[in-house]
Structure 1
Amino acid sequence: MIMQNIVAVIGPTASGKTALSVELAKRFSGEIISADSMQIYKTMDIATAKPTEEEKQGIPHHLMDFLDPCEEFSVARFCELAKNAVTDISGRGNLPIVTGGTGLYVDALLGDMQFEETEVDPVLRTSITADVEEKGVDKTLEYIRTFDPASAERLSVGRNPKRLIRCIEVYLSTGMTQTQLNEKQAGSGSAYQAIKIGLTARDREFLYERINRRVDLMMENGLLEEARRFYQQQSGDTACAAIGYKELLPYLSGELSLDICVANLKRATRRYAKRQMTWFKRDESIRWFNIDEQSFDEILSEATDMITKEFHYE
């Protein structure tokens, strides 16, 4: 089997993934496949740091800005669409570049995980949902840790209640943990020859300051009004998990001042970046670059050389 070449540019929020991906795409006739679980939604532009047309520089972007916020989305659906995009891009002689900070999406695509739907018992799901809502995320993670420590560690990154519910549901309905189910469903091997490029900062405060500046710029660009419009429409559970809206809701409802809400947004984004790094650091195949120690041009040059060498490009 001929393996398809694919590049992944990954890392925490505000690390510069979009800019590097676009420059690499310009050098290698690349097209970008977004691996961001929130940039898939239409109208959610500022909160998700969706690249503007100017930032895209004419490079085609796939799996971005195509789903209504009231619709739900899954990693299985992402893999289906992403694999189709990789085949299409490669078939036209171009290089697929997967870019984003949703580690589960990247791992599922490049690891060739196969997904099977297990039957849903609506009564059981309702019961589990009520229990999770009563206990909260932290206590629910403690419970999951008693029977599936690996999943508890993985789920602590996104802290998505819906995925916590699903993890418990799988265990109670099948007697198999989510970890065991994932192992059972794992593919026989990836169909891709992947180069994984990671962006991070050795000094965590350097990255945190970039995050703070990004939030300030988002507010200047109209994040508050975008959040207001978002809450005026019916949105699905997945879209509502987006960082950037729920932190501003207390201001929109008159409960907290705007300054406090913006500070909470910065803190939530910093915590999210920390969880992203916890996820990605487990993958020893990622080639890391520290954005606080190398200039953008130096990172671009090294990444270009690595791709040229490993994919035997002229």
Structure 2
Amino acid sequence: MKMIHNGFSNLRTCFRLPLPETSLSRPLPHSLPFRRRCLATVSAAANKEKEKVIVISGPTGTGKSRLALELAKRLNGEIVSADSIQVYQGLDIGSAKPSQSDRKEVPHHLVDILHPCEDYSVGQFFEDARQATRSILDKGRVPIVVGGTGLYLRWFIYGKPDVPIASQDITSKVHLELAELQRKEEWDAAVQLVVKAGDPKAQLLAVNDWYRLRRSLEIIKSSGSPPSAFRVPYDSFRDQDDLNVTDGSGANTAEETNTSDLDYEFMCFFLSVQRLELYKSLDYRCEEMLLGRDGILSEAQWLLNLGLLPNSNSATRGIGYRQAMEYLLSCRQLNGQSSVGEFYKFLSEFQKVSRNFAKRQLTWFRNEKIYNWLDASKPLETVLDFIVDSYQNRSGSLVVPGNLRMPRDITSHREANLIKSYRTRNRHFVRREDCSHILDWIGKTQSGMQRVVNPIEGNYERV
């Protein structure tokens, strides 16, 4: 089977419809079919008045970008990237950023808008993506939001929590309070500082996630409460959906999700393939990112030369970039030397974290009931025709045909056993000599490198 390929080498009006008076004058029957029909009717009627926004997501490497591009051509659309790494200039390979030619053909938003030294948050994405969506609709075009960053998409669809924005004074104080600890790389001490300030969940943050640690302290100082004290709008929709599950399976379809209070009519699609095929594709994809002179190692070198450290901000937390930066730092400590074994250890780790990330994406979106799951191994034209027809359908209902439907869970013991026994089989890096050109590049570029003194200007020195 062949997945929709995304060309690797080449980023409110709220109308509430009240129920008819007659429906309030008598109790509703308790039969499940009636409840589902009633919910679908109310949801469809409410959505008729709303502007449509298409959302496409899926695990890394399932062809989201190519599908969105072709969909935009058919529907006179523009693309809004929901990728936490594509926002950064210079990080092209690791984020599978759309090519310049694609961006000329179809307008893309939220691609290349920040320098890697800058941080980007889900709250900022919400503001930027909603503004881009409104702008696209005002031009009479179709917004197509595409990406795999689950939290970005959740906030974009359901809204962001009412967390206070820190004043400039508080932001400065928090920066000064944590700056020295960050400079000395005393992560544990910084975490305990924030825990004592009032956020015990700071201990659950990923190591060196300084942005979220600072943000937690800003919220505490601004409101007196930790971030977890502020309810997320998504929780209300999730609670409503849980009430609709009566068969004990939790198998709500997108049609059963209560969307009448959302700002737009969101048409959400999740691309996926059989897990074994996905893992193979991801392993090959990681290899391809290391080919050529301008691969992900070159981009990771640039991040290091800017003075950034792995996992120190939004850009350096990206899958692939963190592992590549850690690998190059170990090479620099050995004056630009790396063994074949160390390279293959890095590649194996890169592939492993990519598969694990895809697994987390599947788990995350399995619980996002607003999404219709589509089989990305089907021909591109078939998937395109279905989404275009669904967009143009004014009935308010959307039913995925059996030939396109992808189960949310593993459906057979055979598939589960194959996944458990899966082992990577490389396509490009098979023999020891296959990585010789990379080891030569490391020897030429990483020897004598020293930590950057000025991360803002991007200066670095050779010893």
CA distance in 1, matches of 2:133, 2:222: 35
Q: Which residue of 1 aligns with 2:165?
A: 117
Q: What is the Cα deviation at residue 298 of structure 1?
A: 2.3
Deviating more after overlay: 254-263 vs 264-273:
254-263
Q: Does 1:204 align with 2:275?
A: yes
Q: Which residue of 2 aligns with 1:213?
A: 284
Q: Which residue of 1 aligns with 2:85?
A: 38
Matches within 5 A, 1:48-67: 48-56=95-103, 58-67=105-114
The partner residue of 2:387 within 286, 303, 306 is 303
Amino acid at match of 1:269: S
**Contact 1:103 1:280 survives alignment (8 Å):** yes
Matches within 5 A, 1:41-120: 41-56=88-103, 58-115=105-162, 116-118=164-166, 120=170
Amino acid at match of 1:302: F
The partner residue of 1:195 within 267, 284, 289 is 267
Q: Which residue of 1 aligns with 2:363?
A: 278
Quickly say closer, same or farther: Cα 1:159–1:214, change in 2 above 3 A.
farther
**Contact 1:111 1:186 survives alignment (8 Å):** no
The partner residue of 1:239 within 315, 319, 344 is 315
Q: Which residue of 2 aligns with 1:140?
A: none
- Structure having greater relative contact order (Cα 8 Å, sep ≥ 6): 1
Quickly say closer, same or farther: Cα 1:66–1:166, change in 2 above 3 A.
closer
Deviating more after overlay: 161-170 vs 59-68:
161-170
**Contact 1:41 1:67 survives alignment (8 Å):** yes
CA distance in 1, matches of 2:270, 2:230: 28
CA distance in 2, matches of 1:167, 1:136: 12
CA distance in 1, matches of 2:270, 2:68: 11
Q: Kindly tell me the number of residue pairs found equivalent between the two proteins.
A: 302
Q: What is the Cα deviation at residue 48 of structure 1?
A: 1.1
The partner residue of 2:297 within 221, 224, 236 is 224
Q: What is the Cα deviation at residue 171 of structure 1?
A: 6.8
Quickly say closer, same or farther: Cα 1:42–1:311, change in 2 above 3 A.
farther
CA distance in 1, matches of 2:395, 2:69: 18
CA distance in 2, matches of 1:123, 1:229: 25
CA distance in 2, matches of 1:125, 1:300: 52
Aligned Cα root-mean-square deviation (Å): 3.8
Secondary structure, aligned partner of 1:134: helix
CA distance in 2, matches of 1:108, 1:181: 14
Matches within 5 A, 1:122-201: 122=174, 126=178, 133-134=187-188, 162-163=211-212, 166=215, 170=219, 176=225, 178-183=227-232, 189-201=261-273
Q: What is the Cα deviation at residue 36 of structure 1?
A: 0.6
Amino acid at match of 1:80: E
Deviating more after overlay: 211-220 vs 114-123:
114-123
Q: What is the Cα deviation at residue 189 of structure 1?
A: 4.0
CA distance in 2, matches of 1:78, 1:8: 15
CA distance in 2, matches of 1:210, 1:164: 35
**Contact 1:114 1:186 survives alignment (8 Å):** no
Q: Which residue of 2 aligns with 1:252?
A: 328
Give a deviation string over 1:5-37, Cα, whole Å, max 9, x none: 100001111111001111111111010000011
Secondary structure, aligned partner of 1:220: coil
**Contact 1:12 1:200 survives alignment (8 Å):** yes
Which has the larger Rg?
Answer: 2
Q: What is the Cα deviation at residue 311 of structure 1?
A: 8.0
Q: What is the Cα deviation at residue 246 of structure 1?
A: 2.1
Q: Which has the higher strand share?
A: 1
Secondary structure, aligned partner of 2:282: helix
The unaligned stretches of length 5 or more in structure 2 are: 1-12, 14-48, 192-198, 237-259, 397-463
Q: Does 1:269 align with 2:354?
A: yes
Q: What is the Cα deviation at residue 219 of structure 1?
A: 1.1
Amino acid at match of 1:206: E
Amino acid at match of 1:226: E
Q: Does 1:19 align with 2:66?
A: yes
* TM-score after normalising by structure 2: 0.56
CA distance in 2, matches of 1:311, 1:43: 44
CA distance in 2, matches of 1:136, 1:301: 52
**Contact 2:174 2:218 survives alignment (8 Å):** no
Q: What is the Cα deviation at residue 175 of structure 1?
A: 6.4
Secondary structure, aligned partner of 2:393: helix
**Contact 1:25 1:31 survives alignment (8 Å):** yes
Q: Which residue of 1 aligns with 2:450?
A: none
CA distance in 1, matches of 2:225, 2:190: 23
Give a deviation string over 1:89-147, Cα, whole Å, max 9, x none: 111110000000111111111112254325656399749x889933999xxxxxxxx97
* TM-score after normalising by structure 1: 0.81
Amino acid at match of 2:188: E
